[in-house]
Amino acid sequence: MSGRKFQVREELYRLILNEDEGVAYNLVPRMLADPESLTPEIRWCLLYLVRGVGYMAARHGLLGNGGLLDAVMQGFEESRQVKERLDWMWYTVVREDETHWIQRYESTDVHYSLEELAWLHRRLIALWDVERERLELEEPPLTPLVLRQRERLKAAEAERSEPSISRSLS
């Protein structure tokens, strides 16, 4: 692996995997496992960050070997589709706000550079700080996906086991 390719790979891994550098190490797996637990704004910021990482990885020949970056890129795009409609509605609204960070991102011609990815990562840190404060105040806090799915299954089973009104009247 060439020196530049190795340097880019290290930087991309740092952006999405290093817990000392920020929050993407926590939010990317969370997005892959439970996209509902993130706000549309965080999902959009992650989308830009992960797509940028994917673009940089592809440009430097780091994709296509079945590695970690391949898995993250593919998994992210699949999980993103879960909330795509809601995310597009949010995007349509905030795009009209001239002071929103989306405007700054879209107004730049250089979306796929290490500097731009670092800027997005800092933006993601700020968004997650605000979201964590909001989650701490929320009552009850959002339960993990596994527990929410169990609750839905129990409710569905209880609904099926209850006699319907038409059966009880006959």
Average pLDDT for 6-21: 84
CA distance 51 to 55: 6
What band does 163 get if pLDDT is binned at 50, 70 and 90? low
* Residue 54 maps to a domain: yes
Domain span at residue 50 reads 3-139
Decide if pLDDT at 99 tops 80. Answer: yes
pTM of the predicted model, to two decimals? Answer: 0.74
Average pLDDT for 7-31: 84
* Residue 146 maps to a domain: no
Whose tokens are 């999902």? That residue is 43
Q: What is the pLDDT of residues 111-156, one digit of tens each?
A: 788 888 888 999 999 998 888 887 777 666 666 667 777 888 888 8
Q: What is the pLDDT of residues 68-97, one digit of tens each?
A: 888 888 888 888 888 889 999 999 999 999
* Residue 147 maps to a domain: no
- Work out how many domains the chain is built from and give that number: 1
CA distance 77 to 63: 15
CA distance 109 to 112: 9
Count the Cβ atoms, other than its own, within 10 Å of residue 56: 22
Nearest partner of 79 among 147, 126, 121, 27, judged by Cα: 27
